[in-house]
Structure 1
Amino acid sequence: MFTKGQLIFAVIFIIAFVTAMVIAYRKDKALHQLFYKGNYKILLAFFAFVLFLFVIKFVTKH
């Protein structure tokens, strides 16, 4: 399906991208802790909302 060159490029790209993201995150870690306190609450609310939608879907389906 993919050529050997395409697979090699994909692997190298993924490794380089993940490395760059880790380096960028480490540089900004102090700023994230300062400006984004309590951000996990928004994520939990989002997951609760999606779960609520699934519950509504299954309750009204039967």
Structure 2
Amino acid sequence: MFTQGQWTFAGFFVIAFIVAMIYAYRKDLKLHKIFYKRSYLVLLGFLAFIGLLFVIKVYLKH
């Protein structure tokens, strides 16, 4: 299916991508703390909305 070279490239690409993302995140960590305070509330709101949709679906099914 895939050649050995393709697997090698994919492995190096994944490792390089993860290293680059960690570097970028560490570099911007101070800015994240300033501008993205309480951003977890957006995630909680989204999860609550999805949960509400699920409850409505189950309720209307019966």
TM-score range, shorter chain: 0.7 to 0.9
Q: What secondary structure is seen at the aligned counterpart in 1 of 2:37?
A: coil
Structure 1 stretches of 4+ moved >6 Å: none
- Contiguous gaps of at least 5 residues in structure 1: none
2:4 is aligned to: 4
Q: CA deviation at 1:41?
A: 0.5
TM-score (normalised: structure 2)? 0.88
User: Could you tell me which amino acid in structure 2 is paired with residue 22 of structure 1?
Assistant: I
Q: CA RMSD in A?
A: 1.1
Q: What secondary structure is seen at the aligned counterpart in 2 of 1:37?
A: coil
Q: CA deviation at 1:37?
A: 0.6
Aligned mates of 2:59, 2:4 — CA distance in 1: 49
Q: What secondary structure is seen at the aligned counterpart in 2 of 1:17?
A: helix
Count of residues paired in the alignment: 62
2:30 aligned with 1:42: no
- Contiguous gaps of at least 5 residues in structure 2: none
Aligned mates of 1:61, 1:4 — CA distance in 2: 51
